[in-house]
Structure 1
Amino acid sequence: MAADFVVYGFSQSDVGDEDPQVYELDPDTTIRAIGKWSTAGDEAADYNFDQIARYRAKGITFMGSGTASIIFPKDFATPEIFDDMSTRDADGNPVPHDEFGFPEPARRGNIFNPKYREYLLSWARIQVDGGVDGLNFDEINAGFSGGLKYGFNGNEGFDDYAIADFTRYLLAKYPTYTAADWMSRFGIAADNLPRRDVPADDLAANFNYREYLRAGGWNLNPVNAANPLAPEWGRVIANRMYAEDTSFTATYIRRYWKGMVDELRGYAWRTKHRRLLISSNGLWPYVDFNSVGMYPWNPDEQTPDWRGADYVPVVDGHLNGAKSLQSQYRYLKEQSARIAGNVPVVVFIDWPTDMMTNYLNLPLRERQDYWRIFGAEAYANGIFPAFHLKDTVGSPTATDLGMMEFFTTYTRFFKDHRSIFKDNAIGTRAVRVGASGVAASLLVQRGTGRRTIHLVNHNYDQGIAPQAGFTVEADLGSCPRRVTMISPDRTRSTSPAFTCRHGTLKVAVDRLDYYNVILV
């Protein structure tokens, strides 16, 4: 069960390859052990399914995966099929994605096309047949940006399938609208009205949104605020499916995603009599855990340069350990709860991005400190870091970087104390720290009610500055019988001095290196 996972790794290999580092780290799972890409993974013979038995012998859950949106001409039998599978702009033309820099033309697949959804399911079934424990789908809704050609302004996703669904959406949302209503509310021309007496996919006789966009002059920028139907269509945010978004694109993508998930879980149960775990890159519903890629231009924080939350903070080539990611991690946890309910949230450094480049270029000690500070801060806020082992673009592996001994030693702490780190909610009561530069949080475990206070030290300048001899005060509402302090930076637990009056706990902390956990 994903709810029992505490240590995650990130190691992705091509479908026929295997990473021995995984067995050395011995995590509960890797987010995606293999990844289907282009034609590699179309046939069962492409895969090294024998490694699944080796994973299970170590007690590691094996997650298969594949890209859910990037496609190439060679992926399909004919150019016509490739065109049909591709997303379109508001003029009905396929949208190129040359910004990826691939040697062959790349496009995004169209999730509104039932044949494309079946294509995704076809390789997913091969992995289920091969014995995977779960599947991770990467970039499910990435085909709506417009790419470099349109300056990422959202001019993408306007194919015939989506246009027909948009008509269905409008007719369902406004069941009593008359011709006059459509014209006055949205400025739709009299000869292009949504009609209930004509099939929605008859774009010549029923409403054609592309014609509407051309008439309004919005065909090069369809989500322009001047377009009255733009809010109805919605703006797709890659790798995010926000719970409150009820626009057309969110409603139908959510529906199609659920259909795919239900089909795969049903298939795994019918054929293997096993429950299939599902995950995806980002924040998505209907998953067993959310795995959130950390990359630039993310939507998780409003910043002046639009790059979003800085998940791998670096200054002049050195780790900026003085920064805290507490607010960003809490945002991810809270959003995931709204979207997917009570499922684990795990973050990983996505690639190839400059966040990954910055991490790889850190000095060895500072790479380790990244996990001691920001990996710990993930645990401290009820989510999980995925310890980075390997990507698929030839970057140095954890072994190449001299990180494996650290990873195996450091993660032992979380394995030994796994009962503490599972299924925690962020507490609402205040925690006060008598030392500067320390991020504190209170977690409350669902089911057990166990309370833990987490302290992460951000007194850092190319090295940690330990804090000593300070007090932590927490409003708990009730007083504990005993208090214990543990840390991955210490070999044994301690019993710090504490007082408690009227539910306010005061604990004397003798020393904080990187991360302490106070067990109440």
Structure 2
Amino acid sequence: MKAEQHFLIVLVISLLLFDGALFAETTPNLSRAVVYTMQETTDSDYGVDLARSVGSEVLVRGWFKWNKASDFTAWKPVAAKVHGWGGLFGGGITCSALYDKENGITHEQLLDMATRGTDGNLVNAWDQPGIRHGSLSCPAYRDYLFRWCREQIDAGADYLFMDEHTAALSDKEGYDNYSISDFRRYLLEEFPVSRGWKPNDSRWIQKFKIDLTNREVCPDGTMSSFDYRGYLRVNNLLQKPGQPANSLHDAWSQFRKWRDDHVWKGLTDRIRAYGKERGRKILISANGLAKYVDLQVFGIWGQWSTREGHIDLSENRIAYWRSQVQRGRDLADANVPVVLFHDWGFGNPPFPWLAVPPSERIVWMRTAGAEIFAAGAFFAFPVLGPFGCDAKKDGTLSAIKQQAAFYSKHRNLYLESRYVGSEKISSHAPNLSLAAWWQDKPQAMLIHVINRNLVNNSLQVQKNVPIEIPVNRVPKEAMVISPDFSGEKPVVCKLDSGKLELILGELDAYSVAVLQYGDSVNLDLVKDPARTRTTGFWSRPVRNRFAVQPGGMVANADELNSYIQGKLHQELRNPPTFLVNAVKPGKLHIHVRAVATMGARLECRVDEQPARVEELPDRDHKNDGEAGEYDKTFSFDIPAGLHNVTVDNSGGDWMTVTWFEFEGAFAEVPGNK
């Protein structure tokens, strides 16, 4: 080899190694980040300067590939500038939307990558002509998704935000040939009910009503050629594949969950492997709570409330935010950061954050944003976004700077302390959100106090605010800090009837009382009860059996639907049964939020014995599962021993359940460790 060639090879290798080392040295530790900002799109010094001005440590969706991809190579200097101050630069892609002619794809490529309806035809995604959903079972589509991840990584992205990682399919999508083939393989090899059955086993007809002799369903007379679309067609199920007459609907739902998980795991592994080849660690989140992620990032959506065009802070949401922190960490199987942001989509308005005046957005960030931090999550401040979202232009930037500076200065309080509880702390002052934390070094209790007291859409400062905490010791020192003032202020503490009472002289939006003890404190009475919160989805739950764990929490809670269906939607019914091993008699508390206009009828059965029933007639005529017309807790006895406890609805239509609480002492359910 000539000396010149050898020199060039060594030079190229050195530059590649240097590039990877440079990223490794400048990429900060995610576990130390507290200031997240939404930054779509940061493609010039303008966006970079905005991010830097607020002290952003993680830029979420700085780049994003939705329809036509940008030239990410040309944006490489943008990411490099963020790395210059130690920030993490975030890119991202959609894992679902596929436009007919995006990025030069041919019609043949579109037909290959797009999923189909039950009739085998293309479907307009979200009823938008010219937009499809990609098929996660299609190898070419998975390669297409990875391509845009690779290009952003090469341009300097440290973190990828993967939108709609399960492809966001409706119940009438997902029936492309690749998915049909995967479903066939799933039935034969993976589905617990039929795994190991021979392709010509008679149980296919007995269990699932699959006519092996019908060539429209099984062209070769066995399950080796099973066509699920043909099965739907001959059984007149094309229009409503989810109705009870479809004996394979549960299997299809479980297949979809299995396939989506398998593909998501493969894509995240592939991204990380590519980053590792480049000498870098690439961070990943979905849009929504997901497995296999480094941080959980999801939209606020239903927790954003307005009334007559103005923000509505009437509801204390700390318990909800906290439940999402716990659920996110459970799914990730790690103590990952949980980040909330204001998302956008196809609604009216498409970006709800912009539906109120900037002055009210500032109030929301100072109060509801503080609630999110007080629950142990982080709020990603909206610096840049679509539809004209620009914090500099709308006047919210200075407020974001003030909030971000506070969280950055006091990051140790949020990163090195732990949440204890919120529901046992009380106050006579109106419209407060409260949460207690504990810090080990130095030993101190932190009391987060958020003021939600709006009058005529304006936040009202409260004076001499009393806070009662079920702790029977006065701290050695006490002070209060806040983003609303500089420095520290004293706080009055005293014991009253065996409980600690604080008096905050003035509360603007958010304050944190720091109570220095110097040694441990009994926090048992401060802890929240073990409540398992539900998730609302308008589909038939795949799972209907849930084990109650020794601490009273429910396993697989992410599959626990808040909608308990009644008689009207038989195709959506699959009421939950809880497997309980009660050491002694206990109770099940069920918090009902709302019912449909036809009303509901709550039933609780233990081992299928006659149920105790609560009639729930409609009260508000809204037919809104989030309306809160009941917000009432119903309690049911659980005898000692091993039992199946079923929660059902025999009324006219749905009811929504916010949470389930199992009170008492519980042991492991045999076979569910």
> Per the shorter chain, which TM-score range?
0.7 to 0.9
Q: Report the equivalent of 1:11.
A: 39
Distance (Å, rounded) in 1 between the aligned partners of 2:109 and 2:441: 51
Match of 2:87 in 1: 60
Aligned to 1:471: 466
Cα deviation, residue 177, structure 1? 4.1
Q: Which residue of 2 aligns with 1:149?
A: none
Select which of 353, 369, 373 maps to 2:367: 373
2:324 is paired with a residue whose SS is helix
Query: What is the distance in 2 between the residues matched to 1:191 and 1:390?
Result: 59
The residue that corresponds to 2:481 in the other structure is 486
- Deviation by residue 1:31-74 (Cα, 9 ceiling, x = unmatched): 11111233324x554x4110112112222210111222111222
Q: Is the 8 A contact 1:14 1:392 kept in 2?
A: no
Match of 1:151 in 2: none
Cα distance change of structure 1 residues 335 and 50 upon mapping to structure 2, 3 Å threshold? same
Count of residues paired in the alignment: 474
User: Against the structure 1 CA distance between its residues 162 and 424, is the aligned structure 2 distance closer, same or farther, given a 3 Å change threshold?
Assistant: farther
| Paired residues for 1:145-224 under 5 Å | 145=170, 154-171=171-188, 172=190, 173=192, 174-177=194-197, 179-191=201-213, 205-224=224-243
* Counterparts of 1:115 and 1:452, CA distance in 2: 52
**Structure 1 residue 326: Cα displacement:** 2.4
CA distance in 1, matches of 2:442, 2:296: 23
Distance 1:217 1:401 in 2: 54
The one of 4, 10, 21 equivalent to 2:50 is 21
Q: Deviations over 1:231-260 (max 9, x none)?
A: 2222xxxxxxxxxxxx22122211111111
Of 150, 164, 168 in structure 2, the residue corresponding to residue 125 of structure 1 is 150
Alpha carbons 1:68, 1:139 under 8 Å: kept: yes
User: What's the CA shift for 1:407?
Assistant: 1.4
Question: Which of 400, 409, 412 is the aligned partner of 1:419?
Answer: 412
Report the Cα distance in structure 2 between the residues aligned to 1:452 and 1:323, rounded to whole angstroms.
22
Match of 1:227 in 2: 246
1:319 aligns with 2:347: no
Q: Which runs of 5+ in 1 are unaligned?
A: 146-153, 235-246, 296-308
- The Cα shift of 1:422 comes to 2.2
For 2:51 and 2:472, how far apart are their aligned partners in 1?
A: 43
Residue 508 (1) aligns with residue 503 (2): yes
What is the rounded CA distance, in whole Å, between the counterparts of 1:2 and 1:446 in structure 2? 22
**Would you say the 8 A contact 2:472–2:495 is kept in 1?**
no
- Which sits farther off after the overlay, 354-363 or 283-292? 354-363
Alignment partner of 1:81 is 2:109? yes
CA drift of 1:447 comes to: 9.5
| Aligned-residue offset at 1:396 | 4.1
Aligned equivalent of 1:348, options 341, 348, 351: 341
- Kindly indicate whether the alpha-carbon contact (under 8 Å) linking 1:15 and 1:40 is maintained by their aligned counterparts in 2: no
- Matching residue within 248, 261, 281 for 2:287: 281
User: Greater strand percent: which structure?
Assistant: 2
Cα gap change, 1:400 to 1:100, in 2 (>3 Å)? farther
Whole-Å separation in 1 of the counterparts to 2:441 and 2:148 = 38
Question: CA–CA distance in 1 between the matches of 2:258 and 2:106?
Answer: 31
> Structure 2: how far apart are the matches of 1:449 and 1:231?
52
Q: CA deviation at 1:111?
A: 1.4
Whole-Å Cα distance in 1 between the matches of residues 94 and 44 of structure 2?
16
- What SS does the aligned partner of 1:508 have? strand
Contact persistence 2:42–2:78 (CA under 8 A): no
Q: For 1:437, which of 426, 431, 434 is the aligned residue?
A: 431
User: What is the match of residue 259 of structure 2?
Assistant: 252
Q: Do the aligned partners of 1:438 and 1:456 also contact (CA within 8 Å) in 2?
A: yes
Aligned equivalent of 1:497, options 492, 498, 501: 492
Give the letter aligned to residue 55 of structure 2: D
Q: CA deviation at 1:221?
A: 2.1
Match of 1:292 among 295, 298, 304: 298
Task: Provide the secondary structure at the position in 2 that maps to 1:431.
Answer: coil
TM-superposed CA distance for 1:167, in Å, is 2.2
Structure showing greater Rg: 2
Distance 1:518 1:232 in 2: 53
Question: Could you tell me how far apart the structure 1 residues matched to 2:440 and 2:238 are?
Answer: 50
Partners of 1:503 and 1:274 in 2: CA distance:
55
Tell me the distance in 1 between the aligned counterparts of 2:336 and 2:85. Answer: 24
| Partner in structure 2 of residue 392 of structure 1 | 386
**Worse overlay, 316-325 or 122-131:** 316-325
> 2: distance between equivalents of 1:81 and 1:347?
36
Work out whether residues 184 and 224 of structure 2, in 8 Å CA contact, stay in contact via their aligned partners in 1: no
Q: How far apart are 1:333 and its partner, in Å? A: 1.7
Give the 3 Å change call, closer, same or farther, for CA 392–323 of structure 1 in structure 2.
Answer: same
1-side partners of 2:91 and 2:222: how far apart?
Answer: 39
TM-score normalized with structure 1 length: 0.83
Are 1:3 and 1:423, in contact at CA under 8 Å, matched by a contact in 2?
no
Aligned to 2:327: 335
Higher relative contact order (CA 8 A, sep 6+): 1
CA 1:159/1:432 → structure 2, altered by over 3 Å: closer, same or farther? same
- The 1:250–1:508 alpha-carbon spacing in structure 2 relative to 1, beyond 3 Å, is same
- With over 3 angstroms needed to count, the CA separation of the structure-2 counterparts of 1:205 and 1:248, relative to structure 1, is closer
Aligned CA RMSD, in angstroms, stands at 3.0
The offset of 1:183, in angstroms, is: 2.0
Q: Deviations over 1:56-106 (max 9, x none)?
A: 2222210111222111222354211101100111122121126347xxx11
Q: What fraction of aligned residue pairs are identical, expressed as a percent?
A: 29
| Change beyond 3 A, Cα 1:449–1:206 | farther
User: How far has the Cα of 1:108 moved from its partner?
Assistant: 1.1
Q: What secondary structure, in the 3-state scheme, does the structure 1 residue paired with 2:329 have?
A: helix
Quote the offset at 1:127 in angstroms: 1.4
TM-score (ref. length: structure 2)? 0.65
Distance 1:449 1:356, change over 3 A: farther
Using the alignment, how far apart are the partners of 2:91 and 2:282 within structure 1? Answer: 11
Q: Determine the C-alpha separation between the residues in 1 that align with 2:123 and 2:475.
A: 61
Q: Please, which runs of 5 or more residues in structure 2 have no aligned partner?
A: 1-28, 516-673
Task: Using the TM superposition, give the Cα deviation of residue 107 of structure 1 relative to its aligned residue in structure 2, in angstroms.
Answer: 0.7
Shift of 1:132: 1.5
Residue 268 of structure 1, aligned match among 263, 275, 284: 275
